[in-house]
Structure 1
Amino acid sequence: MNEINLYKSTGKAGKAILFSFLFLIAGVWLLNSGSSLKWVGWGNLIVFGPSILINLFHLFDRRAQIVINEQGIFVRAMKQETLPWKYIKGTLPNPDYKNRALLLLTDTSYTPPLDKWYNNIKVTESWGGQTLSIPIEKIKVDEDNLKELIASMVEVNQTGKGNRQGIISQYNNTGRKKTHT
């Protein structure tokens, strides 16, 4: 099956590991130097030691975070089945510029999963649907190209003209996406 897999950015995890390692070294230095700031050294060890382990997991996690195929969109962070194209009406501009997120406008007949991600779903009456926030801050992808792809896939669903497999193949062949860094 033809699909687009989007993975986590390894660069961000690498930077976080480097940052944590520097503070870990500073903490060890403070403990060994006989300084009166031993509590700062222990604080660095307690906070940044586990941080290195967590970021190592993020660095080597090679599971696809977002999978776009002919059936719909699968988002690993949402822990649910694939969101079918029949429920997706389009994308919306993100009003929060600090957090990179893809806002999908979904049909009101879509029943969201009732778990911790339920808070990311808000009913938007002015657009006639509800928005679903997909976090993409850790994924290396161009937001505009991703929105363009989703708009093309939704258009195929609404008009019945074109095929999704061709759109996915064209997106894969143009080299506009980055899967691994």
Structure 2
Amino acid sequence: MNPPLKELYFYKSPLQALKLLLLSAPFIVVSLIDITGYSDIMPKGLAWLGLCFFGLSIPLALYIVLDRRPQIIISEIGIFDRMAYKEMVNWELVNDAYRVDVHGQRIICIVLDERAIPLLKGNKNLKNISKAMGFQEVNLSLGHLKNRDQDKVEWLIGRLMHANPSERKTLMIDSTAKT
């Protein structure tokens, strides 16, 4: 009998939602103060625009906090990112991966075999633009994860994509033991 499959789950960080709220709160407050008439810092139309734009951070932050589904799942079989794939992509379909930092946000670009392309979600034109900018069809944005989880995902992808199946099992067991 085969032992149960080891999987690692990575979730969105509630701290990111808190940062979003804290960064947008001053703009919401200033807009509210201006709209209510206590101040004339900016024109009313601009105050309403600021309130609508920065006010969107409240439902977005609530969604991040309340959505407890795993964002990224890594197993000895493959990798699944809820934002990029319809199903798990087998490690044999991953040709390479590299890291890109964009304005402090860590992104892992995954180069896939042509057989994996039908598994992908998304607009073909956006994928072409992404490739033209130096990215791939599949880009794992790690900015919404905790920093230690970002490091672990990057390390695991680098090791698992080049490992043979028996090594993958050992890497997953070692990684789950450290978690």
Q: TM-score, normalised to structure 2's length?
A: 0.75
Equivalent residue number for residue 165 of structure 1:
169
CA distance in 2, matches of 1:166, 1:25: 52
Change (3 A) 1:172 1:28: same
In structure 2, the partner of 1:60 is 66
User: Against the structure 1 CA distance between its residues 51 and 83, is the aligned structure 2 distance closer, same or farther, given a 3 Å change threshold?
Assistant: same
Equivalent residue number for residue 97 of structure 2? 91
Which structure 2 segments of 5+ residues have no match? none
Residue 16 of structure 2 is aligned to residue 12 of structure 1: yes
Gap regions ≥5 residues in structure 1: 124-129, 176-181
Q: What CA distance in whole angstroms lies between the structure 1 residues aligned with 2:63 and 2:151?
A: 29
- How many Å apart are 1:153 and its aligned residue? 1.8
80, 84, 88: which is aligned to 2:86? 80
> What per-residue deviation string (whole Å, max 9, x for no partner) do you get for residues 21-54 of structure 1?
3222222211233544333332232222232112
| RMSD after superposition | 2.7
- Report the more deviating stretch, 44-53 or 111-120: 111-120
* Paired position in structure 1 for 2:26: 22
Distance 1:7 1:145 in 2: 13
Instruction: Give me the identity figure in percent.
Output: 27
- Does the alignment pair 1:38 with 2:44? yes
Q: Distance in 2 between matches of 1:59 and 1:50?
A: 15
- Could you list the runs of 4 or more consecutive aligned residues of structure 1 that deviate by over 3 angstroms after TM superposition? 33-37, 120-123, 141-145
Normalised to the residue count of structure 1, the TM-score between the two structures is 0.75
Matched to 2:29, the amino acid is: I
